[in-house]
Chains A and B, each alone.
Chain A
Amino acid sequence: MTAIAQKPAMVAVPRRSRASRFLRWMRSDIRAVLSIGFLLLLVLVSFAAPVIAPYPPNDQNVSLLLAPPDAQHWLGTDDLSRDVLSRLIYGAPNSLYASFLAVFVAVLLGVPAGLVIGFVGGWFDEVASRFIDALLSFPPIVLAIAVTGALGIGLTNAMLAVGFTFAPFLARLVRAQTLVVKSALYVDASRGFGASTPHIIWRHILPNAIQPVIVQVTLALAVALLAEAALSFLSLGVQPPSASWGGMLARAYNYIEIAPEQMYAPGMAILLTALAFNALGESMRVALDPTMKRR
């Protein structure tokens, strides 16, 4: 009878307190609110691109090559006389996709690998860690170029390659965290209550080891955005005529002597987005810091 009366309370209380905790955190951290707001805006722009862009991305107006900003073209036109603002807007989804794809691949490969290496330990850890160190000793961009070469050119392949190069970083981080967490008494204790190994890894080690990973992931989103620019620069990334910020930057670079202002728009877009990811990561690091009392 009492149990029935308690049921709704049991379900509702944690949910409400979690939401209010989140609100309190938002209020106390303007930087996080701004960066989340900016990123949400980007997502919105990405979905609404065909509606809000003034011109189709590949529309040419041959009379205007590398034109400076004016009333018709707020950010000017590029070397093929396309509207820069429209290409920037159409580039947003591509750039975000690129960045998230790379990090998704990195998480998918790196987190389970780190968990298993850390949990199994022993000689397996020795061997696997050496292998990770070897991967990390390559300059990432060289590795990415090599992988792109193997997979073929294109935005998706380029970002898969970037994801591969990030994975060992995450694997190493997760392994280190796993080593710490697996020796915690609550892991032994849950074994003492009959929990199986997969259950322990999934339900106890992963949630406790993941916090620094979440921070690294937001930072990796920023790095991936820059990597997209770098690979597009080397013509390994987005293929014309598709728009991406990295690709726009790469094109603009060719005309730096005659129209340096061409670099501003994609450059600023990349910079601001990377900053937003970074700020979000910083805020999460503070918010998740275990030395600061949780709740």
Chain B
Amino acid sequence: MLSRAGTGKTTPMSVAAGKVSDSEKQVSTSALLDVRDLSVSFRDDAGWVQMLNNVAFTVKRGETLGIVGESGCGKSLTALSVMGLLPKRGCRRTGAIVFDGRDLAALGESGMRQIRGRQIGMVFQEPMSALDPVFTVGDQIAETVRTHFPVSQREAKERAVEALASVRIAGPANCATQYPMSLSGGMRQRVMIAMALVCEPKLLIADEPTTALDVTIQAQIMELLLELGQRTGTALLFITHNLGLIAESCERMIAMYAGEVVEDGPVESILQRPLHPYTAGLLESLPGRRAPKSRLSSIPGRVPSAREMPVGCRFGPRCNYAAAACQEPQRLRAVDDRHVRCVRASDLALAGAGV
């Protein structure tokens, strides 16, 4: 049962598998997800405010990319933009989101429905409220299967039970008959993961999947996500404000600040030698790579509000290294193996995480 769910490429999925594989070959060299110049603005009483500013990153096939940043820096907005789940009214999105060779930004709502849950799965931060209280979890997972595959109710339910087994829930058939209310937070998050992966998407977006859980459960869920990612070849876009979790789980990461990407590169080398003072600040707040617990509290000052963004470097007001050149707007530039949004990146010698 477990192994069958694990290999996964069996039953209903094989329907679409043949179709997908051609395009996979075509673009297998390029990135799975390529976000370019993504900007998002919201309108309120005082007019438009920009919340994301030219965010750009890529996720390769099967790769795990971490996005880290303080609360409010736009991590969730980035995820929602990719999913096409931004509010329809009072919200403007520009830029390109190329997924598997197609620009999602140009895709209509019905096109996006084919992508969501099928090609891109998403796990939300709040497992307590992300499941509908009036249906059993088995029904909800089966519903997702039936949204994307022309299978019978019974087959969908079997798929749901298999999916629950694959996230290592003991007694999956029994769990499928439970209402979310009767499950613990950790169990619900497992159910969410099962639901996000039941259609075997190519990309899984996990937006702070462990933040609402207690520490021991957090570790289990992280382990599960990484293991499932590896086993099924699903790429993982992992969003967190906890750099420690990224250090343990990702190959590449981007750091976001005030709606911008400020640093982008391999986790290992960023941890050894951060190039952006903000990333260095995040690293300082790590008590040590073995105990990733603290919230980002060590950087003094606060994120400027979107209406009062500094003209120059957005991190300037909080930066210990600010100089005259920082008054200019900063652009992302390539330095060594990464991209950094800091004019002084090459002349600063910032401390890495003491390993």
Residues of A within 8 A of B (CB): 2-3, 6-7, 9-10, 13-14, 17, 122, 184-186, 188-196, 199, 203-204, 207-208, 293-295
Distance from A166 Cβ to chain B, minimum over Cβ atoms (Å): 25
Is the CB–CB distance between A13 and B177 below 8 Å?
A: yes
Q: How far is the CA of A207 from the CA of B140 in the complex (A)?
A: 14
B349 contacts the other chain (CB 8 A): no
Contacts known (A186-B130, A186-B131); A191 close to B85, Cβ less than 8 A: yes
Contacts known (A194-B148, A295-B179, A295-B182); A189 close to B130, Cβ less than 8 A: yes
Q: Would you list which residues of chain B between 126 and 143 have a CB under 8 Å from chain A? A: 126, 129-136, 138, 143
Interface size on B, residues (CB 8 A): 42
B195 contacts the other chain (CB 8 A): yes
Which of A9, A10, A188, A203 is the one whose CB lies under 8 Å from B85?
Answer: A188
Q: How far is the CA of A277 from the CA of B136 in the complex (A)?
A: 30
Is the CB–CB distance between A3 and B1 below 8 Å?
A: yes
Contacts known (A10-B176, A194-B114); A208 close to B133, Cβ less than 8 A: yes
B144 contacts the other chain (CB 8 A): yes
Q: What chain A residues lie within 8 Å of B174 (beta carbons)? A: 9, 13
B284 contacts the other chain (CB 8 A): no
Which 7 pairs of residues, A with B, have the shortest CB-CB distance?
A193-B117, A194-B117, A6-B173, A185-B129, A194-B116, A189-B130, A186-B132
B313 contacts the other chain (CB 8 A): no
Most chain B CB within 10 A, of A194, A294, A295, is at A194
Q: What chain B residues lie within 8 Å of A189 (beta carbons)? A: 122, 124, 130-131, 192
Q: List 16 A-B contacts (CB under 8 A).
A: A3-B158, A3-B161, A7-B154, A9-B174, A14-B177, A184-B129, A191-B116, A192-B122, A192-B124, A193-B144, A193-B195, A193-B196, A194-B116, A194-B118, A199-B147, A295-B182
Q: How far is the CA of A192 from the CA of B157 in the complex (A)?
A: 20
Contacts known (A193-B117, A193-B144, A194-B148); A207 close to B173, Cβ less than 8 A: no
Q: What chain A residues lie within 8 Å of B147 (beta carbons)? A: 193-195, 199
Is the CB–CB distance between A6 and B161 below 8 Å?
A: yes
Give the number of A-B contacts (CB < 8 Å). 90
Distance from A287 Cβ to chain B, minimum over Cβ atoms (Å): 14
Q: What chain B residues lie within 8 Å of A122 (beta carbons)? A: 89
Distance from A6 Cβ to chain B, minimum over Cβ atoms (Å): 4
Q: What residue in chain A is nearest B112 (Cβ atoms)? A: A194
Is the CB–CB distance between A185 and B134 below 8 Å?
A: no
Is the CB–CB distance between A193 and B116 below 8 Å?
A: yes
Q: What chain B residues lie within 8 Å of A14 (beta carbons)? A: 136, 177
Q: How far is the CA of A212 from the CA of B176 in the complex (A)?
A: 27
Q: How far is the CA of A77 from the CA of B177 in the complex (A)?
A: 59
Q: What residue in chain B is nearest A192 (Cβ atoms)? A: B122
Q: What chain A residues lie within 8 Å of B182 (beta carbons)? A: 295
Residues of B within 8 A of A (CB): 1, 83, 85, 89, 113-118, 121-122, 124, 126, 129-136, 138, 143-144, 147-148, 154, 157-158, 161-162, 173-174, 176-177, 179, 181-182, 192, 195-196
Most chain B CB within 10 A, of A10, A189, A204, A208, is at A189
Is the CB–CB distance between B113 and A194 below 8 Å?
A: yes
Distance from A290 Cβ to chain B, minimum over Cβ atoms (Å): 8
Q: How far is the CA of A13 from the CA of B88 in the complex (A)?
A: 41
Distance from B213 Cβ to chain A, minimum over Cβ atoms (Å): 16
Most chain B CB within 10 A, of A7, A186, A195, A207, is at A186
Contacts known (A7-B154, A192-B83); A203 close to B124, Cβ less than 8 A: no
Q: How far is the CA of A151 from the CA of B181 in the complex (A)?
A: 48
Q: How far is the CA of A3 from the CA of B1 in the complex (A)?
A: 8
Distance from B235 Cβ to chain A, minimum over Cβ atoms (Å): 17
Contacts known (A7-B154, A185-B130); A192 close to B181, Cβ less than 8 A: no
Contacts known (A10-B173, A192-B116, A193-B144); A294 close to B179, Cβ less than 8 A: yes
Q: How far is the CA of A291 from the CA of B161 in the complex (A)?
A: 30
Q: What chain B residues lie within 8 Å of A194 (beta carbons)? A: 113-118, 144, 147-148
Is the CB–CB distance between A208 and B132 below 8 Å?
A: yes
Which of B130, B133, B136, B173 is the one whose CB lies under 8 Å from A294?
Answer: B133
Q: How far is the CA of A293 from the CA of B181 in the complex (A)?
A: 8
Q: What chain A residues lie within 8 Å of B138 (beta carbons)? A: 10
Q: What chain B residues lie within 8 Å of A192 (beta carbons)? A: 83, 85, 116-117, 122, 124
Is the CB–CB distance between B161 and A203 below 8 Å?
A: no
Distance from A94 Cβ to chain B, minimum over Cβ atoms (Å): 36
Is the CB–CB distance between B124 and A185 below 8 Å?
A: yes
Q: How far is the CA of A184 from the CA of B188 in the complex (A)?
A: 16
Q: How far is the CA of A2 from the CA of B3 in the complex (A)?
A: 12
Given contacts A10-B157, A186-B129, A194-B117, 11 further A-B contacts (CB under 8 A): A10-B173, A13-B177, A17-B177, A190-B132, A192-B124, A193-B122, A194-B114, A194-B115, A194-B147, A294-B133, A294-B181
Q: How far is the CA of A90 from the CA of B252 in the complex (A)?
A: 80
Q: What residue in chain A is nearest B157 (Cβ atoms)? A: A10
Q: What residue in chain B is nearest A204 (Cβ atoms)? A: B132
Q: What chain A residues lie within 8 Å of B181 (beta carbons)? A: 293-295
Q: What chain B residues lie within 8 Å of A17 (beta carbons)? A: 177
Q: What residue in chain A is nearest B205 (Cβ atoms)? A: A192
Q: How far is the CA of A185 from the CA of B192 in the complex (A)?
A: 12
Which of A2, A9, A293 is the one whose CB lies under 8 Å from B1?
Answer: A2
Is the CB–CB distance between A196 and B113 below 8 Å?
A: yes
Distance from A17 Cβ to chain B, minimum over Cβ atoms (Å): 8
Distance from B56 Cβ to chain A, minimum over Cβ atoms (Å): 23
Q: What residue in chain B is nearest A17 (Cβ atoms)? A: B177
